[in-house]
Amino acid sequence: MATSKGKSFLGRFGVHIAVLFFVAIWTLPTLGILVTALRDKDQIIATGWWSAFSSSSQTEAGRLPPSSAQVERDGKFLIEGNIFGDEPPREISAFGLRSAAPTEFAAGAVADLKDGVTLQLNADGSFVMTSPVAFEGDRGQRVYYASSAPPRFTTENFETVLLSEGLGRSFLNSLTVTIPATVIPILIAAFAAYALAWMRFPGRALLIAVIIGLLVVPLQMSLIPLLTLYNGIGLFFGVPVKTYLGIWLAHTGFGLPFAIYLLRSYMAGLPREIMESARIDGASDFEIFVKIVLPLSFPVLASFAIFQFLWVWNDLLVAMVFLGTSQEQLVLTGKLNALLGSRGGDWEILTTSAFVTIIVPLIVFFSLQRYFVRGLLAGSVKGG
């Protein structure tokens, strides 16, 4: 049944379902990273993040005390204790003496180790190994067991990443690179977009065509010529080349074509009557730009700020080329890449580092997301 606006209930319901579907696709991985980062590292290896709130079952290996811990009782020699030691107790369901059969015996059963030696491992972790003769050897019997543990959450992973792994320094480096590399292109592009949209001067159409052409130039293609020019200027003036100023200018150059195109398309669609009224009242172009155009263009400015912030924050190539890879200059993506290379099996470190990496872009996006859709429509307005 169609409504007064011409849309059926089924059509609107389908749109909502589609939106929820895509929201879930993007939200679930982020939720999984956060839950994994807060879990105990042993449970991360044993089960997936979706089972983090239920007891997990895992197979572990332990070693009983050596022969020096034995006591003699009723003509037999015994080694007793708890296999968990000082660790939190867990419930054991089965145990074994070989890695090929780690659950050969049920918890509480008596396993025969030959020559009259027996081992009993109970569900609470307590054990008793009995022998008719004295035990010998400096190493205790190796035991495999399957245990279930309650869910355990901890903030130690974040403490390790932010303090021990040196990610805090890289986090500050990324902020130092990203914030100016987002603000500078917006300032330059705003002035240029206003001039191309509302001011008449020779070569205006050619400049617009050049900017549109630069949109299709890959970053990788322009990286080497730009780096050569950059190094030449540094050598000519005798100044260091691996500086924050260099990477700010590089990101500004790579982001300006899209910024100018997006802002000009939006500004060109602003009502002409407002501009003409301001000119009649004696306002200059600078006053019109600052007092009228900029406030009306805030949605598209916020949209480009989101794009530029995400591009610079997630960048690795430009940062390594123009800033370097030393510990004092390494950005967050570079540090995470180093962790991937040297700590490939430590999932608690990798997931925590990944969540620390994405938390800042998420904050920026949700802070400006109400302007995002309106800014994205800038390219569809009719230019002047």
Q: Residue 309 corresponds to which tokens in the numbers above? A: 């912030």
Which helix (H) or strand (E) segment holds residue 95: the answer is strand 91-96
d(CA 249, CA 256): 10
- Under a CB-based contact definition with an 8 Å cutoff, are residues 146 and 121 in contact? no
- Under a CB-based contact definition with an 8 Å cutoff, are residues 372 and 302 in contact? yes
- Under a CB-based contact definition with an 8 Å cutoff, are residues 330 and 289 in contact? no
The string of DSSP codes covering 218-258 is -HHHHHHHHHHHHHHHHHHHT--SSSHHHHHHHHHHHHHHH
Burial class (CB in 10 A: 0-12, 13-18, 19+), 84: middle
Length of the chain (residues): 384
Q: Residue 351 corresponds to which tokens in the numbers above? A: 């997931």
d(CA 20, CA 362): 18
d(CA 227, CA 304): 25
Strand arrangement of the beta sheet that strand 91-96 belongs to: 56-63, 142-149, 91-96, 105-106
Q: What local confidence, expressed as pLDDT, does residue 176 receive?
A: 92
- Under a CB-based contact definition with an 8 Å cutoff, are residues 22 and 135 in contact? no
Q: Is 33 helix (H, G, I), strand (E, B) or coil?
A: helix
Q: How far is CA 138 from the centre of its chain?
A: 47
Q: Is the pTM for the entire model greater than 0.85?
A: no
Q: What local confidence, expressed as pLDDT, does residue 216 receive?
A: 85
Looking at residue 49, the DSSP 8-state letter turns out to be G
pLDDT along the chain (384 residues), means of 10: 54 77 83 87 78 78 87 89 82 87 89 89 91 86 85 83 74 91 94 90 89 85 81 73 85 91 88 86 87 87 89 89 81 79 69 83 79 53 43
